[in-house]
């Protein structure tokens, strides 16, 4: 028995090593399944909760052009949540359980959404930095070993690039505007820079799951590699805007061919992860309210479907 399990796991690892994708009905180690359920559902929850800080600004967008774009972006995020929930469900967890995990506060989602969006410039900074960071992670995940997750990521990446561009365009408009508008943009960058850097997770040496995740090709790059990529591509974008990244240690390192940057406040990182962020409570409350207030719609749809089914049954009888 012991031998057989071992050989199944070896076979599984061989498939991964040779670049094969794993599909829903294939044999997989229980830990691979559990890790994926956790990671995909956290990712889905992040898309869903990610709608809240932006939904806040839809009715206050400064023009119709900005409003339709933001509305479309938020709608995409609902869609991305749905793709990812479906991918998680292929691993044997129900949508009901997933909802319950989010609404009860047991599940985690990206800490970035526990920061407040207090000015219109935040919509620019979120699109530019938060979506920018998310895209780096998600592009990597299009090559992840689990087929349904990888396919969801391909779809998401295709849609996501407009999100970042619309955010950057907002920043650009503000930076080409009045002094007060440019100050708004700088203020948003100041507040969102470090939380965006934290989105890649703890340093490699503090990330105990990284090794196994790399072995199973759940991740193909480490947190620190992705974070470096983010810094390298974002610094020139900030220069074009004429904004200053709030890190006095940030400078080009000729030898490494990368930017050096300052130390992240890991105490803040862990504090927000543990639920002490400014908006943790509010997000969960809003999420639960939305769920409860939608109940009559779900019930009505179920009742209507039942009635239609009965009618059809009568007709054929």
Partner 1 sequence: MQLQLMPRNRQKKEQRKQHKSNNMNKEWPIWEIFIRSKNGLEHRHCGSLHAADEDMAIQNARDVYTRRQEGVSIWVVESKHITASNPEKNGEMFEPAADKVYRHPTFYELPDEIKHM
Task: State the binding string over 249-288 for partner 1 (x if CB under 8 A, else -).
Answer: ----------------------------------------
- Report the residue number, 90 or 119, with the smaller CB distance to partner 1: 90
Measuring CA to CA, how many Å separate 270 from each of 40, 43, 201, 267, 273?
Answer: 21, 18, 10, 5, 5
Task: Give yes or no for residue 68 binding partner 1 (CB under 8 A).
Answer: no
Q: Quick one: which of 118, 183, 240, 309 contacts partner 1 (CB under 8 A)?
A: 309
Task: Give yes or no for residue 104 binding partner 1 (CB under 8 A).
Answer: no
DSSP characters over 230-299: HHHHHHHHHHHHT---S-TT-EEETTTTEEE-----HHHHHHIIIIISTTHHHHHHHHHHHHHHTHHHHH
Segment near partner 1 (CB under 8 A), from 104-112, 147-155, 214-222, 280-288?
147-155
Q: Quick one: which of 29, 55, 67, 76 contacts partner 1 (CB under 8 A)?
A: 76
Instruction: Please count the residues of this chain forming the interface with partner 1, following the rule CB under 8 A.
Output: 26
Task: Give yes or no for residue 83 binding partner 1 (CB under 8 A).
Answer: yes
Tell me how far, at minimum, the Cβ of 122 lies from partner 1, in Å. Answer: 25
Task: Give yes or no for residue 226 binding partner 1 (CB under 8 A).
Answer: no
Q: Quick one: which of 33, 38, 143, 151 contacts partner 1 (CB under 8 A)?
A: 151
Measuring CA to CA, how many Å separate 129 from each of 216, 288, 292, 299?
Answer: 29, 28, 32, 39
Instruction: Print burial letters for 256-271: b (CB count within 10 Å at least 16), e (below 16).
Output: eeebebeebeeeebee
Q: What's the rounded Cα separation, in Å, for the pair 27 and 33?
A: 10
Looking up tokens 């199973």, which residue turns up?
A: 216
Task: Give yes or no for residue 311 binding partner 1 (CB under 8 A).
Answer: no
Residues 16-45 that bind partner 1 (CB under 8 A): 23, 25-27
Task: Give yes or no for residue 11 binding partner 1 (CB under 8 A).
Answer: no
Tell me how far, at minimum, the Cβ of 11 lies from partner 1, in Å. Answer: 11
CA 152 to chain centre: 13
**21 near 146, Cβ under 8 Å?**
yes
**24 near 147, Cβ under 8 Å?**
yes
Binding residues (CB under 8 A) for partner 1: these are: 23, 25-27, 72, 75-76, 79, 82-83, 86, 89, 94-96, 151-152, 155, 159, 298, 301-302, 304-305, 308-309
């Amino acid at each position: 028995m012991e031998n057989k399990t071992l050989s199944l796991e070896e076979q599984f690892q061989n498939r991964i090593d040779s670049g094969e994708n794993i599909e829903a009905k294939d044999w997989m180690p229980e830990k691979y399944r559990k890790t994926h359920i956790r990671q995909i559902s956290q990712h889905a929850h992040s898309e869903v909760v990610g709608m809240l800080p932006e939904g806040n600004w839809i009715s206050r967008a400064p023009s119709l052009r900005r409003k339709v774009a933001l509305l479309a972006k938020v709608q995409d995020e609902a869609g991305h949540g749905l793709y990812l929930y479906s991918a998680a469900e292929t691993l044997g967890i129900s949508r009901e359980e997933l909802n319950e995990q989010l609404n009860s506060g047991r599940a985690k989602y990206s800490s970035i959404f526990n920061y407040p969006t207090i000015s219109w410039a935040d919509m620019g900074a979120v699109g530019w930095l938060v979506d920018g960071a998310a895209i780096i992670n998600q592009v990597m995940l299009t090559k992840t070993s689990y087929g349904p997750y990888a396919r969801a990521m391909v779809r998401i990446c295709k849609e996501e690039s407009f999100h970042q561009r619309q955010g950057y365009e907002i920043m650009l408009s503000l930076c080409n505007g009045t002094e007060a508008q440019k100050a708004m943009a700088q203020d948003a960058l100041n507040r969102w820079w470090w939380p965006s850097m934290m989105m890649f997770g703890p340093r490699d040496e503090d990330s105990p799951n990284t090794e196994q995740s790399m072995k199973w090709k759940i991740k193909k790059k480490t947190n620190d590699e992705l974070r470096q990529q983010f810094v390298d591509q974002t610094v020139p974008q900030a220069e074009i805007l004429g904004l200053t990244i709030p890190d006095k240690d940030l400078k080009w390192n000729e030898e490494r061919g990368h930017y050096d940057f300052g130390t992240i406040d890991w105490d803040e990182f862990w504090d927000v992860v543990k639920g002490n962020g400014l908006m943790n409570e509010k997000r969960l409350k809003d999420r639960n309210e939305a769920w409860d207030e939608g109940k009559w719609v779900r019930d009505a749809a179920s009742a209507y479907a039942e009635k239609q089914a009965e009618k059809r049954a009568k007709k054929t009888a």
